[in-house]
Amino acid sequence: MRMAFIIPEDYYSACKKAAESFDGIHEVEFCFYKDYKEAPLIIDGRQKEWDGILFAGKAPYYYSLKRIKKETVWSFFPSEESTFLRALILAFNQGFRITDLSVDSYHRKMVEGALSDIGVPCGEDVFSIYRGDVTAQAYNDRAVEFHIKEIEEKHKKIVITRLNTVEKILKGEGIRTIHALPTFDMVRSQIIFLQKLVEETSGNLDNYLMIVVEMQTAAEYALMYSDEYQRMLHRNNILSYIYEYAQKLQGVVSEISQKEIHIITHKKFVEVQENIFDEFELLNHLAARFPYIFKIGIGSGSNLLETKRRAMKAAMKVAQYEGSNAYYLFGEDAGQFILPFVNEAKKCAGDEQVLYIARQCGFNVETVHRIQMYLHKKHNNIFTSKELAEHMKINIRSMNRILEKLEEKGFVNVIGQEAASGKKGRPGRLLRFDI
C-alpha cells in the first residue's frame, strides 16, 4: 500500500517506527505541516499518488474535507484514551494534580469516563477542557485563549494539548505544556485500519473478525485501589496487553469508552494465532491477571458492517451470563460460548489440591498448606509478597522465589500494585492465589 502521513514533525518518530514495523510492505511518504490549515495545500493535486492518507487528527482531516475533494481513502489518528492517559501520567510524574490541568481537543465524556474509571472526580470546577469546531479557521487561536484564561483566572498550571500549533504558542509564552502524541501501538493500528479501508474500497474483500471487549469491575475489587495514579497504571496495563494482542493478529484497536474496546482483524489471522474454541488467549490472559469481569463478543463476516453487527449481537448474548466469558457468532444463528481456562488444581479439593500444587511446583506440601491457611484466615486470596513472607517467617527473597514458581505454573497472578501510602520505595505487587 502506498500511503502518506500528513503530520507535524513531532509525530515523525512514532509514525516512522510504526511504519517500519511492517518490514517494508508499505510505501510511505511523510508530509509535514507547521499548522494543520496547511494540510489541504499539501495533498491537493497529489492524492492519487497514494492509496491512502493518514492525518494527525480530526482538525487537519475535517479541515481538508471542507476544502478539497476526497479522491482517495483518508483516515486520522483518533483522540483515544491511551494518548490522554499517557499525557496524564507525564503530568503526574511532574508533580501536577488533576485540578492543575487545562486540556483541549478530547471529548469531555471520554475524559470524564477515563478519570471516573480511576476514581477521580471530574466536574467543571475540577477539570477544564476545550473542544470547539475543529474546522474553524480560528480553532488554534481559541484553544490558546481558553488555556491562557484558565491559567490566569482559575490558576491552572499545565496544559495537555493534541494541537501542534497550540503547544508551540503556549511554550513560547512560558506555559508548561504536554503534547499528547500518538503511541506506537495506536499508529500501527491505524495503518492496519487504513489498509482495510483501501481493500474494501478496491473490492478486495476477505472474511473479517471483530472482538468486543467489555470490562466490568468485580464487586470484591471495587475498593482495591484508593490511589487514582495506581488505578490508572493498572488500566494502562490492560490497554497495553490488548494492543499487543491485536498486533499479533494484525488488527486495529478502537477505544470506544473507558470500559469497551474493539479489535478488528482478518479472520485468517485469528485462525493462525488461536484455536479460539479451545484456548482463547485473550480471554485467558485478561481473566487470570486483572481484577475485572471480561465480557467478550466475537463476530465474523464478509464485510466490516456485517462483522460489527454480529460482534455486537454476540456481546449482548454474553452479557446475560455471570463471570468472564466470550461468545463467538460466526453465522446468523451459529455460535458458541467460550469459557476461560481453569487450572486443574481448581478441580481438586482439600488435600488433593494441596498435593497437586506441591507436585507441580516442586514444593513440600507444608509450604502450600501454610499459604492456603493464611489466605483462608484472611478471607481474601489477594496479598503481597511482603505480608506473606512475614506470615511464613522467611525472608522476602525466598518468598519471591516461591511465588515466581507459583506464578510460572499459573497458581498465582499479578493483578496490580498497592495503593500509594506515602512510604518510600516502590509499591508492592498485588498478587492473587488463583485456585
Q: Which of 46-55, 65-74, 308-317, 334-343 has the lowest mean pLDDT?
A: 334-343
304 within domain boundaries = yes
Closest CA to 388 of 375, 404, 401, 405: 375
C-alpha cell at 414: 499479578
Residue-number span of the structural domain to which 72 is assigned: 2-76
Contacts of 117 (CB under 8 A, 6+ apart): 231, 235, 258, 259
Domain-terminating residue out of 338, 364, 379: 338
41 within domain boundaries = yes
186 within domain boundaries = no
Residue 358: C-alpha distances to residues 41, 364, 369 (Å): 69, 6, 9
Domain-terminating residue out of 23, 41, 76: 76
If you search the block for the grid coordinates 481473566, which residue do you land on?
287
Q: pLDDT confidence of 278, banded at 50, 70, 90?
A: low
C-alpha cell at 76: 486520522
pLDDT digits (tens, 9 = 90+) for 372-401: 778 777 767 788 888 888 888 888 888 888
Pick the most confident of 215-229, 335-349, 360-374: 360-374
pLDDT (0 to 100) of residue 204:
47
- Are 333 and 209 within one domain? yes
- Give the mean pLDDT of the chain: 81
- Are 358 and 332 within one domain? no
What is the helix, strand, coil percentage profile of the chain, to 5?
50, 20, 30
pLDDT digits (tens, 9 = 90+) for 106-147: 877 777 777 776 666 666 566 778 887 776 778 889 999 999
Extended beta strands in 25-127, E state: 27-32, 52-55, 73-76, 101-104
- Are 374 and 405 within one domain? yes
Q: Residue 164: exposed, middle, or buried by beta-carbon count in 10 A (0-12, 13-18, 19+)?
A: buried
> Which residue did the predictor score with more confidence, 135 or 61?
61
* CA–CA separation, 373 and 365 (whole Å): 12
What CATH number did the domain enclosing 28 receive? 3.40.50.2300
- Are 252 and 332 within one domain? yes
**Chain centroid, CA 420 distance in Å:** 23
Domain-terminating residue out of 129, 164, 179: 179
DSSP H stretches of helix in 274-427: 281-289, 304-318, 350-361, 365-378, 385-392, 396-408
Task: Look at residue 221 and tell me whether its pLDDT is greater than 60.
Answer: no
- Are 357 and 385 within one domain? yes
Task: Look at residue 186 and tell me whether its pLDDT is greater than 50.
Answer: yes
Residue 122: C-alpha distances to residues 118, 161, 231 (Å): 11, 18, 16
Pick the most confident of 211-225, 275-289, 391-405: 391-405
Q: What is the DSSP secondary structure assignment for residue 249, as one 8-state letter? A: T
pLDDT (0 to 100) of residue 388:
86
- Are 353 and 370 within one domain? yes
C-alpha cell at 8: 507535524
- Are 209 and 334 within one domain? yes
Pick the most confident of 62-66, 172-176, 297-301: 172-176
- Are 209 and 319 within one domain? yes
What are phi and psi for residue 336, nearest 5 degrees?
-155, 140
Q: pLDDT confidence of 205, banded at 50, 70, 90?
A: very low
Closest CA to 193 of 255, 283, 109: 255
pLDDT digits (tens, 9 = 90+) for 241-261: 899 888 888 888 988 887 899
286 within domain boundaries = yes
Q: pLDDT confidence of 225, banded at 50, 70, 90?
A: very low
What CATH number did the domain enclosing 367 receive? 1.10.10.10
249 within domain boundaries = yes
Q: What is the mean pLDDT of residues 340-361?
A: 65
428 within domain boundaries = yes
pLDDT (0 to 100) of residue 3:
95
Q: pLDDT confidence of 226, banded at 50, 70, 90?
A: very low
Pick the most confident of 99-108, 194-203, 363-372: 99-108
What are phi and psi for residue 165, nearest 5 degrees?
-65, -40
Helix, strand or coil, per DSSP, at residue 126: coil
Task: Look at residue 200 and tell me whether its pLDDT is greater than 80.
Answer: no
297 strand-pairing partners? 212, 327
pLDDT (0 to 100) of residue 435:
64
What CATH number did the domain enclosing 330 receive? 3.30.70.270
- Are 325 and 364 within one domain? no
What CATH number did the domain enclosing 145 receive? 3.40.50.10660
* CA–CA separation, 48 and 73 (whole Å): 10
What's the count of helices (H) and strands (E) in the chain, helices before strands? 16, 17
- Are 297 and 382 within one domain? no
> Which residue did the predictor score with more confidence, 186 or 211?
211
230 within domain boundaries = yes
pLDDT (0 to 100) of residue 161:
92
- Are 146 and 265 within one domain? no
216 strand-pairing partners? 293
This prediction's pTM: 0.54
Q: What is the mean pLDDT of residues 89-95?
A: 89
* CA–CA separation, 187 and 17 (whole Å): 9
Degrees, nearest 5: CA angle 161-163-165: 120
- Are 172 and 294 within one domain? no
**Chain centroid, CA 167 distance in Å:** 25
pLDDT (0 to 100) of residue 424:
54
* CA–CA separation, 213 and 242 (whole Å): 9
99 within domain boundaries = yes
Helix, strand or coil, per DSSP, at residue 355: helix
CB of 88 closer than 8 Å to CB of 232: yes
Question: Count of domains in the chain?
Answer: 4
> Which residue did the predictor score with more confidence, 75 or 423?
75
Q: What is the mean pLDDT of residues 400-411?
A: 85
pLDDT (0 to 100) of residue 174:
94
